Amino acid sequence: MLDFGFMARCVPLFVKAAELTVKLAFWGIVMSTVLGLICALIRYWKIPVLQRLIGVYIELARNTPLMIQLFFLYYGLPRLGLLLEGTTCAIAGLTFLGGAYMAEAFRGGLNAVGRSQIEVGMSIGLKPSQILRHVVLPQALAVSLPVLTATAIFLIKETSVFSIVALPDLMYVAKDLLKEGHSTESNILLVLSYLVIILPVSLIFGWLERRVRFAGFGY
């Protein structure tokens, strides 16, 4: 039988860990989105040299596991003189990975905006920055949204490896509780914690996608 007393005692631990997981995931996703948008725009405008570098970055980040990236950041970089604490390291790692995926997501949207849209914008006398803000980005966002949200959820799930950089996140707590011999109870709490975090996000994203499905006109 399940030991409910034990579970009740563990709940505060999981709540605290979940807060950390949410915090790291939130900042990781925000930074990834910003980095991804910048990278996508650089490739969209075909800025020489930079677009090449970003191409290399995207391939490197997308073709290696987050765990190895974190190991390198957390254990490798201090030896080269750059000491990152666990939290910074986790967010930096998640941003390194997520930025590349977000850039690819944005690229799909940017490429879907028809050439004529930009030409029409130019012909009515909009400045390039105005075209970007009022014409290209809104349409690109509507197209990219499903991939962006899928990437965001993927990133939340990737946060589960952060215990390797010694952060007391959900997995860390669950692993720690294994010592007390109630693996089933702690694992149930672990599953519930992730459900509580990811399910609402997934539902909200689903709703958002339905909202913008008809906004992607013009192509």
Partner 1 sequence: MLDSAISIFTAGRNMARLGEGLWITLKISLSSVGLSVLLGIPAGLLMSSKSRFWRAVLRFYLEFIRIMPILVLLFLLYYSLSSVFNINLPATFVSILVFTLWGTAEMADLVRGAVTSLPKHQWESGRALGLKETQLNLYVIVPQAVRRLLPGVINLTTRMIKTTPFVFFINIPDLVKVAQQIVEVAGLRNNLASVWVYGFIFLIYFAICYPISLYSNYLEKAWQT
Q: Are 189 and 10 in contact (CB under 8 A)?
A: yes
Length of the chain: 219
* Cα separations in angstroms, 41 against 12, 116, 203: 43, 19, 29
Under the binding rule (CB under 8 A), the answer on residue 210 touching partner 1 is no
Binder of partner 1 out of 71, 118, 205, 218 (CB under 8 A): 71
Residues 149-178 that bind partner 1 (CB under 8 A): 153, 157-161, 164, 171, 174-175, 178
- Quick one: CA dihedral 50, 53, 57, 58, positive or negative? positive
Does 198 bind partner 1 (CB under 8 A)? Our answer is yes
Residues 22-61: x where in contact with partner 1 by CB under 8 A, - otherwise, as a string:
-------------------------------------xx-
Q: Which amino acid makes up residue 79? A: R
* By CB under 8 A, residue 215 contacts partner 1: no
Separation between Cα atoms, residue 80 and residue 22, nearest integer Å: 30
The answer to whether residue 191 forms part of the interface with partner 1 (CB under 8 A) is yes
Note the helical H segments in the chain. 4-44, 50-62, 66-71, 86-112, 115-123, 128-130, 137-158, 170-177, 183-212
Q: Which of 3, 27, 202, 218 binds partner 1 (CB under 8 A)?
A: 202
Residue labelled with tokens 């050439």: 115
Pick the binder of partner 1 from 42, 72, 117, 120 (CB under 8 A). 72
Our CB check for partner 1 shows the closer of 32 and 69 to be 69
**CB 98 within 8 Å of CB 32:** yes
63 binds partner 1 (CB under 8 A): yes
Q: Which of 75, 83, 134, 166: binder of partner 1 (CB under 8 A)? A: 75
The span of 26-34, 72-80, 111-119, 128-136 binding partner 1 (CB under 8 A) equals 72-80
- Are the CB atoms for 197 and 127 separated by under 8 Å? no
1 belongs to the binding site for partner 1 (CB under 8 A) = no
CB distance 158 to 93 below 8 Å: no
- Which chain residues interact with partner 1 by CB under 8 A? 59-60, 62-65, 67-69, 71-72, 75-77, 79-80, 153, 157-161, 164, 171, 174-175, 178, 183-184, 187, 190-191, 194-195, 198-199, 202
